[in-house]
A and B are shown apart, each in its own frame.
Chain A
Amino acid sequence: MHSLSQLKEYLPFLIPLFLIQLGLMIAALVHIFRHKNYRIGNRVLWVILAVALNTIGPVLYFTIGRGED
């Protein structure tokens, strides 16, 4: 199987992909836990979305869910 060499070929994709998704998730979680008020939804909902839906969850949180700053 050539999977190891294939994995190596895709590392330049996987590393930034992983880092950005992780970064967005952490940024969203930090913001969720530091604020009490959300425009839509509640804390539990946003934590679940931010963790379960990578990229989309944090993007939705920051664009629609984030309360007044």
Chain B
Amino acid sequence: MAILELDKVSKSFGAVKVIGDLSFQVPDHSVFGFIGKNGAGKTTTMKMILGFLQQDSGVIHVCGEKVSYGNTKANRNIGYLPDVPEFYGYMNPKEYLKLCGEITGLKKEIIQSRTKELLELVGLDGVNRRIHGFSRGMKQRLGIAQALLNEPKLLICDEPTSALDPMGRKEILDILSLAKNKTTILFSTHILSDVERICDRIGVLNQGKLVLEGDVSDIKHKYRKDTVRVEVGKSFQPEKAADGLRKLTAVTNVRTDNRIIEIQVHNAEDSGADILAFLLKEAVPVIRYEIMEPSLENVFLQVVV
């Protein structure tokens, strides 16, 4: 079953079309990476899902319930972590979670036990200071705790890691990996290494449209365009080998640059033997030979540019 369903959603700000006919589904218990450049429309989409912004056309369903603007009833199924969550600085984490729990109508005992559980999960147990002295990373972690408080079926995180240092990013990703056992996560970002770490599905948003959507490993496989990178010794002219390499059947393209030869092949492992045999035959002084893995970054650049 799809937890989140967008059907032909469009949104313009004035004359600028930010989202155009956007449709996608997020299946139950998946981590959906919502990828796009800054300004691609990720936050706009998320705000429409939360009912904070009104779409010009199209329908959004969360857990089968239609989202309507200004009415935040469907939000009881959603936990939201804004890109920079803001809290009441004069409260401590427990007091803040108590307020959140009371608003959602949780029972007193449940608020207490969940608060304890969640503060442990995000590593803020025993922190009884007021929030105004918190670092960005601590606020982000408290943000996750408040978003998970009502055990939402869908957790929406808007760029949870982009404002953090590498240490803070790792902490947030670790927490999200734990949270994914319990809930479906929609995770927007422009940091592709984060996506590779925790997402099972991705959707790439470009100019208000999804240009790519699907399972991460499928996509990687589909866009597999292996590259073999050979570094040669100083005395050798790379161009000398390039022509010979081009004649090999498995090779689709060869590019040389200073002391580097980049050979594009269909499958680096299968055609590796041919290339190596050729290099040996021509007595090319090889310093380094490596197979470049297809990264999401390459895929992203291919579909976006």
Contact = CB atoms under 8 A, between A and B. Distances in A.
Are A and B in direct contact (Cβ within 8 Å)? yes
A9 interface: no
Interface in B76-121: 89-90
B132 interface: yes
Contacts, number: 6
A68 B130 CA distance: 12
A68 B88 CA distance: 9
B111 to A, nearest CB: 24
Interface string A42-69: 0000000000000000000000000011
Contacts of A69: 89-90, 130, 132
Interface residues of A, number: 2
A69 B132 CA distance: 5
A29 B236 CA distance: 75
B37 to A, nearest CB: 31
A68 B89 CA distance: 7
Nearest to B89: A69
B57 to A, nearest CB: 40
Contacts of B132: 68-69
A68 B139 CA distance: 15
Contacts of B130: 69
Nearest to B130: A69
A20 B215 CA distance: 67
Interface in B125-160: 130, 132
Nearest to B131: A69
A13 B130 CA distance: 38
A69 B89 CA distance: 5
B93 to A, nearest CB: 15
B158 to A, nearest CB: 22
A69 to B, nearest CB: 5
B85 to A, nearest CB: 14
A68 B90 CA distance: 9
Contacts of A68: 89, 132
Nearest to A67: B132
A36 to B, nearest CB: 11
B91 to A, nearest CB: 10
Nearest to B90: A69
Nearest to A35: B132
Interface string A18-33: 0000000000000000
A34 to B, nearest CB: 11
A48 to B, nearest CB: 25
Interface in B47-101: 89-90
A31 to B, nearest CB: 12
Contacts of B89: 68-69
A67 B290 CA distance: 56
A68 B134 CA distance: 12
Interface of B: 89-90, 130, 132
Interface of A: 68-69
- A-B residue pairs, 6 tightest by C-beta: A69-B89, A69-B90, A69-B132, A68-B89, A68-B132, A69-B130
6 contacts: A68-B89, A68-B132, A69-B89, A69-B90, A69-B130, A69-B132
